[in-house]
Homo-oligomer: A and B are copies of this chain.
Amino acid sequence: MIKDEKKILFLNSAFTLENPFISTEDALEWLKKENKGIYVKIDEIKFSEMPDWYFDEGGNLRHNSGKFFSIEGINVRTNWGKVPEWSQPIINQPEVGYLGIITKKFNGILYFLMQAKIEPGNINYVQLSPTIQATRSNYSQVHKGKRPLYLEYFNGDKKSRVMLDQLQSEQGARFLKKRNRNVIIEVEDEIEVHENFRWLTLGQIKKMMMNDNVVNMDTRTVISGIPFDVENLNGKFDHSNLSKDIINSYIDTENCLNETDEIISWITRLKSKYDLDVKQIPLNKVARWTKDEYSIYHDDRKYFSVIAVNVHIDNREVKSWSQPLIKSAQEGIIAFLIKKINGIYHFLVQAKLEAGNFDIIELAPTLQCLTGNYRKGLSEYEPEFLDYVLNVKPEQILYSAFQSEEGGRFYREQNSNLIIEVDENFPVEVPENFIWMTLNQIQTFLKFNNYLNIEARSLISSVRFI
């Protein structure tokens, strides 16, 4: 075994934009065409107009089959923040989901088999998705449902090699302890490329993330976990100064402000200090939320609402179904502030408690909020660094794009994704629930389960070398 051979393969793919199968421009064009060639109609309907969904005696919204997901209630008590107790609706989907990408070497470079996939909640319907998105039921074919394409490479029926396999969290404010399995495999055999699928390098996928709402959340979370053996670069590639700084933040382990063990101490301290006591309650016992025929909403119209939609898709075949979706009250911002400390880029990481978290707190971006809540002064308190982010100079912005939440659950929800380099005067000293971490350290924590939250991972996935 060549040590770190997988990481070198990932690194080389991240540095490759030349692709004989399809150029990055053509890949963007392909997704645009897919979007144009499809007729999608999403209508907000009454809950009672969804034939396969019903409210149980506790007011929880469930599917007739008992499968998929349900909308239930939780009561939350915590000594975190300014609100000691609240109740809210939450998505309960206990099954681990599978997000899998097939890769294959062509001329020594790793290509990712990516899918143009429709999700009803997406703003633009079709986005770049992993090779496979499946529930455990259809992954394991327990219920003999429609067999997902390429399943045979993931379940052991056909030969493949595991390149990455991580259990990662979903949105803690919306899902109750939900996790997905993020998998990348490598296939050596010839493999059929089905309609709607293309081979792309990791460099191309990251490049495409510079565009709004092109690369879906499932892709972003899977590629965020990819480890890079950056030490093997050895000046192999030309790169800009920014790129050199990014590389240094991945390589350097000598100049980090806090050692990894100190970051673990900091997390331990916060997890020991803060309680998160979550009890499942019937949805109709959730205080300050109202259900009418069309939606379930907070009395101040904050946070989000649960709506019912009818989906009609007219493509090669016609499909129609109805389902609940989560509709955010406003657009949000997620932003990492980064700063050169000891000559190395450090990311300002926030420890954030969210009701659905698996283990009290997760590591979040510097800023993660619904902007509207705060702009209107409706909020319980102002998030740290919100003003800084809203008033940043254009030249400080290293990355900026709107990115969508998962379109199978969320209705046209997009967040502004930002990476911002702070000015020289920005203090190294930060509040108790913040800490500076290098990319090397973020990479280490990310690969252990349930440390980086999905918003942080989304931003990390956008970090590119070229």
Contacts and interface: CB of A to CB of B under 8 A. Distances in A.
Contacts of A264: 165-166, 447-448
Contacts of A358: 359
Interface string A274-297: 000100000000000000000000
A271 B182 CA distance: 12
Contacts of A272: 96, 98, 136, 167, 181
A268 B166 contact: yes
B181 A3 contact: no
A6 B448 contact: no
Interface string A356-394: 001100000000000000000000000000000000000
Contact of A268 (B94, B227, B449): B449
A29 interface: no
B261 A447 contact: yes
A157 interface: no
A165 B265 contact: yes
A4 B262 CA distance: 11
A3 B265 CA distance: 16
A269 interface: yes
Interface in A1-35: 1, 3-4, 6
Contact of A269 (B165, B265, B267): B165
A309 B96 CA distance: 44
Interface string A219-257: 000000001000000000000000000000000001000
Nearest to A3: B254
Copies of this protein in the assembly total 2
A428 interface: no
Interface in A163-206: 164-167, 181
A162 interface: yes
A52 interface: no
B3 A261 contact: no
Contacts of A314: none
A94 B262 CA distance: 25
Contacts of A162: 262, 265
Interface of A: 1, 3-4, 6, 94, 96, 98, 136, 162, 164-167, 181, 227, 254, 259, 261-262, 264-265, 267-269, 271-272, 277, 358-359, 447-451
Given A1-B259, A227-B261, A448-B448, 12 more contacts: A3-B254, A3-B259, A4-B259, A96-B271, A165-B268, A166-B264, A167-B271, A167-B272, A181-B272, A268-B449, A271-B449, A359-B449
